[in-house]
Amino acid sequence: MSKYIATRAIRGANALVTEADVMLNKALAEKGADAPVSFPNTAYYLPTILGMTGKSIEKIGDLKSVMDYTRGLLHPVPAGKHWTPYLGETLDSGMATLLAAETIEAIRFVYGLQPEPMSEDFILSGGTSYGGANGHGHLNGPIDDIQLRSWGIQLVDGRMPGFAAIVGCAKNNATAVKIVRELQRRNILTFLSGNVNGRSIIHQLQEEGVELGYNTFTVPFGTDTISAIYALGFATRSALTFGGMKPGMSREILLYNKERVFAFVLALGEVDDLKYAAAAGAINFGFPVIADTVIPEILPTGVTTYEHVVSMPFDAIDGKDDLEKAERLVQKCIEIRGVKVKVSNVDVPVPYGSAFEGEVVRKADLRVEFGGKHARCYEYLQMAKLDEVTDGKIEVIGPDFSQVPPQGYMDMGIVIKVAGRQMQQDFEPVLERQVHYFVNGASGIQHVGQRDIAWIRISNMAADKGFSLESFGKILHARFHEDFGAIVDKVQVTVITDPALHAEWLEKARAAYDFRNKRLADLTDNKVEEFYSCTLCQSFAPNHVCVVSPERLGLCGAYNWLDCKASFSINPTGPNQPIKLGKLLDDRKGYWSGTNEYAAMGSHGVVNEVSMYSIMENPMTACGCFECIVMLIPEANGVMVLSREDTCMTPAGMTFSTLAGIAGGGLQTPGVMGVGKFYLISPKFISSDGGFKRIVWMSSVLKTSMADELKAVCLREGDPDFMDKIADGNSATTVDELLAWLEAHNHPAMTMEPMF
Amino acid sequence: MPKKREIKDYSTDPAAQQMLIRAEELGIGTAFTRADAMVPCNIGGAGMCCKQCGMGPCRLTKSGDTGVCGATIDTVQARNLTRAIAAGSAAHSDHGRDMAFLLKATAEGKAEGYMIRDVAKLRMVAGYYSIKVDGRKPEEVANDLADLYISQFGQQRGEIVPAIRAPKKRQQIWREQNVWPRGVDREVVEALHRTHIGDDQDPAHILNHAIRTALADGWGGSMIATDISDILFGTPAPILGQANLGVIKEDMVNIVVHGHEPSMSEMLVAASQDPEIIAYAKAAGANGIQLSGICCTANEILMRQGIPAAGNFLHQELAIMTGAVEAMVVDVQCIMQALVGLAQNFHTKIITTSPKVKIKGATHIEFDEHHAMTIAKSILKVAIDNFKNRENSKTRIPQIKEDLIPGFSHEYINYMLGGSYRASFRPLNDAIMTGRIRGVAAIVGCNNPRSSQDYLHNVVVKELLKQDVLVVQTGCGAISSAKLGLMLGEAGLSEVGNGLREICETVGIPPVLHMGSCVDNTRILTVLTQMVEDGGLGDDIDQIPAVGLAPEWMSEKALAIAAYCVASGAYVIFGGASPVSGMERVDDSDEVLKYISEGWEKLYGGKLEFVPSPEEMIKLTLEHIDKKRAALGLPEYDPNKFGKSGDTKMNALEAMPLAQRREAIYGGVG
């Protein structure tokens, strides 16, 4: 701290705690102590309070003890002269500010004041679900558990290097947009809150038509400083979800954030007492504070990894205009937090970064689309000999889209030839699948699907800025080199719109898809000599280890056996290491001497044995970013499969959020397992416990989104109508309902041998 | 003929100078003038006089001289030094023993007026020794802890337990060198035995036992004393206090406590706030009671309650000379016999309280923890009754005092660097690693009238601050800095180098941290241990860029402290004269001097050296710090690298008129 900051932060803390006190007393009087209080779709109650104090707040009355505790953290402001030390006292007051802020937001929810209302034309591009007119006319409020988990893998594998909590209002709208774009370009999650004299960066971005929401990595919390608490609630939950921390382990949670969550606070415009107080709270998490105005700097390190507080008066930043200054400001923030950012320098006329991956190109903004209902678009990656590929050669064969009318369509094929000494044919699909992410990274471009069902849209904005067919080639060339440089030496891209050539290559591509399908079908656990470890998540869940086999992909859904194999080729000392299977110990349950040894070593002795095919005996552990939870329903003699998108109640009496707490954290819990959704269709899916037919309940989201794949499994299992026998959230949310359903539909699990 | 010094050479403290002028007026002698009159014995001072048996005393003054028994010069010096260390360890440890008995009596509910004030510390300390704390009453835990601590003194075999709090690597060294103390008393007794005529006559072997005896103090008796004082009276945290003779008040009954143990002084503090006693004082014509302290008793109550310190060791006579002290209440250690004779010139009563300490001519009111409050009140009443005897014509109180912020216990330092949630030494270690703080100096120890009072302390402290060395202090050295205003946050802005200033400003600390009394040097040991554990500064204390100094040492306790610091890995520099200095003209009379430097350094990574010149002390300190920095691979210290952060700029902007200020802080409107 500095005495100036300490004085203002402690003053702000005292004021906010008083405000929270007043609000709580009012709510107690008006709503009663028993009125429920909660944040939407989270198993972590009021997460900061839960993490820091261990208290599960469910009713307004529960908040009384929180406020008593909070007041105990306050201190008087430092004396004018002959002061006593103030750093620890300020940090404590900062924590009091956070607890008070969360209390206030919780009470606001009770009064219907959260999420914060906005004008009707404000639309979130993906956000927390509130039911009703969702995403229209209100800000996001807190991030829900679903989104936290789905961002999980990106946070852990570094694709999303951290988050920026922006508080206040930028110097002008153009600066606001530039700052956010710079953060997006680096895939840094951006949380928005606060205002200066009533004007918030959220207003600025809204006026400039910047799409805000989960899909664009920019989450507008609220237009006051208090709503910045949602950023810290998110941080707290990261530690609880991925780090295996327990509620009340405040020090561990804070240190987890300091060491692993690369976040910072960017204060735009005047910093008032409350902002100083909230910043003091954030520093407890190891998050530094950068201001674009003059404030006292705190450059010594310790509570944060690098500087604690840095002032970069906007006007004093070296740069030819506001935009360049904004760019430098963001660079400085990243430096101070030590965020590890990989910026793709892709030579296209639109901003580029994975924050743009979620962008949607709506019909109204559409310039041209390839694929979809009216056209055919495919992408095909092929390995070739080194002398058959000219690196950097990008060819467009056929007409461009200048003659296509607005909102029109055309056929396109993207053929990529790669060559490299380390390249293997098995890596073709691994690399080809990346086209989706690479193309989507361009702002104003939307990519859906893969292979010959790809569907690409170019927006008017992108087309106006000069995005062309050639741009696809540039993106792919740059990104393949950047991400797969270890196995790919040369990349050549041909974009085909010429009808004859399009048809010719489509045929070749389909032959290749077919070949790959067969190869994949042949690739079974008993045909390989090694599995792969995946310790990508260990940066977040230190004792968790995934063992990835051909028939069991990683629980995040992002890494299958081939991916791991390719990843090992790219980085031989990286998170994916081959596990020599060694001696087969149990064919049915899936034990090998090699996998067991690896589990013990990789989990640092926490887990000693891991069964590849059983949920009941030594099941594989999970970090927090699993796509589904499989859980035993003892009464039904089967399992339910719950998707993380599913918020409904389950026969287990818990929602996904609550269950996830049991499944995650790197601990073995027989009967509960986090898995990738494609594991469901593997023949090895809990095969030692009875396999696919054990599924008695499944989230309807999965039933719909994987209908074709699941149908094929039913055929494989010899029960074509089996899907109809599985209950879902519409048919059963209690065990009794489930049992009645199973009885009525003659589900096989009822007559299978007992699971345990 | 002894040379008489000028008053300004006696002390750099203007309050002391005023009193010394007064002493001259009254024709009263003080330690200062007696030091002039008493030329130190040059043979004893060289450590070359052996009076261990009736065949001597033997004065070994020529090369090759031996005692009647054949003891060589180095053997005699080693024995003398070891006996001094044993005496120092005994003094500290006996203090610790009394505290352990007090804890026991408190746990049993038999100590009138005492209670367990710091349950958190009790639980933490109990935790070190796996004493069960969950679900138990504080008294039960305290009872077990008291039993364990009491047993440390009489333990015959094994290892004393508090030393397990040292870094792992250090513990291994102690085991390898076979110096882990078995029991506090045993080591002191064995020190006396070994140095008896005809026993241990290998100097290195004798001195190794000196190490073991000193460790029984630092990681034994003293540590026990600090722990229990915190448990019973509260772990110190920053508080506003004052220091120097100006704290004595003309209109109050002035009671000065002097000595070392907090058990009695804390009870006097409590009793002095009793309404009945205050009323009694008012009835006697005073406006109330002003308690103040001298020496380490002062530090104990200054650290915890902000009770002002009248001064350090050499102020004990001067305080009486104000003519305004109704009673000086003393317990143990560093109490000059001269007080009684001096007090006869005034109305001041010297009240001895310890069963171990009586002084001929003093009033003895024996202290007993079972009736502490009753006795404390009766002592205060004796003082109040004496108020009427004060002669205003003889009253001269120097109007000199300075504020300070004491209270830097290990626990608070940990808290202040990260708050309740993130408490750690990380910011301090980081500051050292980056070079904002060049290193740490623990500047402790006594006053010695043979040098100018406070002079050496102040010169060394002030220069090291400018060199970005963070200073921690205890004992009388601490009070010398307090009197100069160096223990205020403001000093952290104006009296230090750029890097240290940033740290002071970040944390809000003075650049000189007052860590307590002389037994509280153990706080420095545990702080250094945590610095090691928090990482980045090596894996043992001897790797930390830190130095221990005692520029004005005089007591045997200081030598014990020096030895346990060396054994813990510290480079220790003493000012003044060495008790084993040897003589230049006598060959081999510097063997021991060399051994406690180079020899000990080989074994423990720490060494003890005697350096009279303050400039040389500063030079050696900085050299050592820089050497340790280099060994850790830390960046070379650069005084101009840091200093950008802080409030200065902001304060200047805040002083501007509103419109201008807005523009300067928030920039133009875009």
Write the CA distances from A632 to A405, A636, A666, A702, B206, integer angstroms. Answer: 55, 8, 18, 18, 72
Name the helix (H) or strand (E) containing A2.
none
Q: Which of B423, B502, B666 sits opposite A300 (nearest CB)?
A: B502
Higher pLDDT, A324 or A335: A324
Q: What residues of chain B lie within 8 A of the CB of A300, using their CB? A: 427, 430-431, 434, 436, 502-503, 506, 645
Please count the other Cβ atoms lying within 10 Å of the Cβ belonging to residue B450.
15
pTM score, whole prediction: 0.83
pLDDT computed for residue A307 by the predictor:
87
| pLDDT above 90: percentage of residues in chain A | 64
pLDDT computed for residue A343 by the predictor:
61
Q: What residues of chain B lie within 8 A of the CB of A281, using their CB? A: none
Q: Average pLDDT of chain A?
A: 90
The CATH fold assigned to B405-576+611-631 is Rossmann fold (3.40.50)
What tens digit of pLDDT does each residue of B217-228 get?
A: 999 999 999 999
Q: What residues of chain A lie within 8 A of the CB of B670, using their CB? A: 171-172, 175, 322
- B427 with A171: Cβ contact below 8 A: no
* Contact status of B668 with chain A (Cβ, < 8 Å): yes
Residues 187-246 of B with CB under 8 A from A: 238-240
Task: Give the mean model confidence (pLDDT) for residues B70-86.
Answer: 98
Residue B50 burial class via C-beta count within 10 angstroms: exposed 0-12, middle 13-18, buried 19 and up: buried
| pLDDT over 60 (residue B2) | no
Which ipTM value was assigned to this complex? Answer: 0.95
For residues A368 and A378, give the distance between their C-alpha atoms in angstroms, rounded to a whole number. 16
Helices B138-154 and B73-107, axial angle in degrees (round to 10): 160
For residues A439 and A17, give the distance between their C-alpha atoms in angstroms, rounded to a whole number. 48
pLDDT computed for residue A344 by the predictor:
65
Task: Give the mean model confidence (pLDDT) for residues A74-78.
Answer: 96
pLDDT computed for residue A576 by the predictor:
85
* Contact status of B574 with chain A (Cβ, < 8 Å): no
Question: Which of B242, B413, B415, B422 should we substitute to test contact with A (largest number of A Cβ atoms within 10 Å)?
Answer: B422
Q: What residues of chain A lie within 8 A of the CB of B642, using their CB? A: 299
Give bridge partners of residue A605 from the DSSP assignment: none
CATH architecture, domain A145-337 = 3-Layer(aba) Sandwich (3.40)
What tens digit of pLDDT does each residue of A696-729 get?
A: 999 998 999 889 999 999 999 999 999 999 999 9
| pLDDT over 90 (residue B393) | yes
| pLDDT over 90 (residue B353) | yes
* Contact status of B428 with chain A (Cβ, < 8 Å): yes
Q: What residues of chain B lie within 8 A of the CB of A294, using their CB? A: 649-650, 653, 664-666
| pLDDT over 60 (residue A367) | yes
Same fold, B73-233 and B241-394: no
What tens digit of pLDDT does each residue of B251-298 get?
A: 999 999 999 999 999 999 999 999 999 999 999 999 999 999 999 999
CATH architecture, domain B241-394 = 3-Layer(aba) Sandwich (3.40)
* Residue A504 structure tokens: 């010719």
CATH architecture, domain A3-110 = Orthogonal Bundle (1.10)
* Contact status of A299 with chain B (Cβ, < 8 Å): yes
How far is the alpha carbon of A255 from chain B, nearest alpha carbon, in Å?
8
Higher pLDDT, B535 or B2: B535
- A294 with B664: Cβ contact below 8 A: yes
Q: Which of A4, A84, A315 sits opposite B668 (nearest CB)?
A: A315
Domain boundaries, chain A: 3-110, 145-337, 354-508, 525-751
Helices A63-72 and A3-31, axial angle in degrees (round to 10): 160
* Contact status of A252 with chain B (Cβ, < 8 Å): no
For residues B306 and A721, give the distance between their C-alpha atoms in angstroms, rounded to a whole number. 83
Write the CA distances from A520 to A101, A175, B285, integer angstroms. Answer: 53, 50, 102
Report residue A124's pLDDT band, with 50, 70 and 90 as the boundaries: very high
pLDDT computed for residue A292 by the predictor:
95
The chain B residue lying nearest A86, using CA atoms, is B508
Q: What residues of chain A lie within 8 A of the CB of B468, using their CB? A: none
Task: Give the mean model confidence (pLDDT) for residues A663-683.
Answer: 88
- B649 with A313: Cβ contact below 8 A: no
Helices B295-305 and B475-483, axial angle in degrees (round to 10): 70
Write the CA distances from B636 to A299, B434, B468, integer angstroms. Answer: 19, 9, 13
For residues B474 and B446, give the distance between their C-alpha atoms in angstroms, rounded to a whole number. 9
How many helices (H) does chain A have, and how many strands (E)? Answer: 22, 23
What tens digit of pLDDT does each residue of A399-428 get?
A: 999 999 999 999 999 999 999 888 888 888
| pLDDT over 90 (residue A657) | no
pLDDT computed for residue A341 by the predictor:
61
User: What's the distance, Cα to Cα, between the start and end of chain B in Å?
Assistant: 83
Residues 87-116 of A with CB under 8 A from B: 87-92, 94-95
| pLDDT over 80 (residue A690) | yes
φ and ψ at residue A62, rounded to 5 degrees: -65, -20
φ and ψ at residue A370, rounded to 5 degrees: -120, 130
The chain A residue lying nearest B407, using CA atoms, is A84
Give bridge partners of residue A352 from the DSSP assignment: A442
pLDDT computed for residue B180 by the predictor:
98
Q: Which residues contact A179 (CB under 8 A, 6 or more apart)?
A: A166, A170, A201, A266, A268, A326, A329, A330
Q: If one looks up domain A354-508 in CATH, what number appears?
A: 3.30.1650.10
Q: Average pLDDT of chain B?
A: 96
DSSP string, B363-424: EE----GGGHHHHHHHHHHHHHHHHTT--GGG-------EEE-----HHHHHHHTTHHHH-S
Give bridge partners of residue A410 from the DSSP assignment: A370
Q: What residues of chain B lie within 8 A of the CB of A85, using their CB? A: 238, 405, 416, 489, 507-509
Q: What residues of chain B lie within 8 A of the CB of A305, using their CB? A: none
For residues A76 and A65, give the distance between their C-alpha atoms in angstroms, rounded to a whole number. 21
The chain B residue lying nearest A92, using CA atoms, is B419
| pLDDT over 50 (residue B670) | no
Q: Which residues contact B392 (CB under 8 A, 6 or more apart)?
A: none
Q: How far is CA B348 from the centre of its chain?
A: 27
**Rg, chain B, Cα only:** 25
| pLDDT over 80 (residue B1) | no
Strands (E), A239-390: 263-268, 289-291, 309-311, 366-370, 377-383
How many helices (H) does chain B have, and how many strands (E)? Answer: 31, 16
Contact A171, A199 (CB under 8 A): no
Domain boundaries, chain B: 7-59, 73-233, 241-394, 405-576+611-631
Q: How far is CA A218 from the centre of its chain?
A: 12
* Residue A89 structure tokens: 């006292």
Residues 321-340 of A with CB under 8 A from B: 322
For residues A34 and A401, give the distance between their C-alpha atoms in angstroms, rounded to a whole number. 63
For residues A683 and A691, give the distance between their C-alpha atoms in angstroms, rounded to a whole number. 7
Select from A218, A151, A232 the least CA-distant residue to A184.
A218
Least confident of A391-395, B58-62, B526-530: A391-395
Q: Which of A172, A301, A314 sits opposite B430 (nearest CB)?
A: A301
For residues B353 and B333, give the distance between their C-alpha atoms in angstroms, rounded to a whole number. 12
Report residue A340's pLDDT band, with 50, 70 and 90 as the boundaries: low
Least confident of A511-525, A729-743, B371-385: A511-525
Residue A191 is which amino acid?
Answer: F
* Contact status of A636 with chain B (Cβ, < 8 Å): no
The CATH fold assigned to A525-751 is 3.40.1470
Contact B177, B208 (CB under 8 A): yes
For residues B418 and A91, give the distance between their C-alpha atoms in angstroms, rounded to a whole number. 7
CATH architecture, domain B73-233 = Up-down Bundle (1.20)
* Residue A138 structure tokens: 């209100």
Q: Which ranges constitute the DSSP H helices of A424-498?
A: 427-440, 460-464, 469-484
Q: Which residues contact A20 (CB under 8 A, 6 or more apart)?
A: A67, A70, A100, A101, A103, A104
Question: Which of B242, B401, B411, B421 should we substitute to test contact with A (largest number of A Cβ atoms within 10 Å)?
Answer: B421
Report residue A621's pLDDT band, with 50, 70 and 90 as the boundaries: confident
Question: Which of B530, B645, B651 should we substitute to test contact with A (largest number of A Cβ atoms within 10 Å)?
Answer: B645
Higher pLDDT, A600 or B351: B351
pLDDT computed for residue A156 by the predictor:
67
pLDDT computed for residue A157 by the predictor:
67
The chain A residue lying nearest B501, using CA atoms, is A300
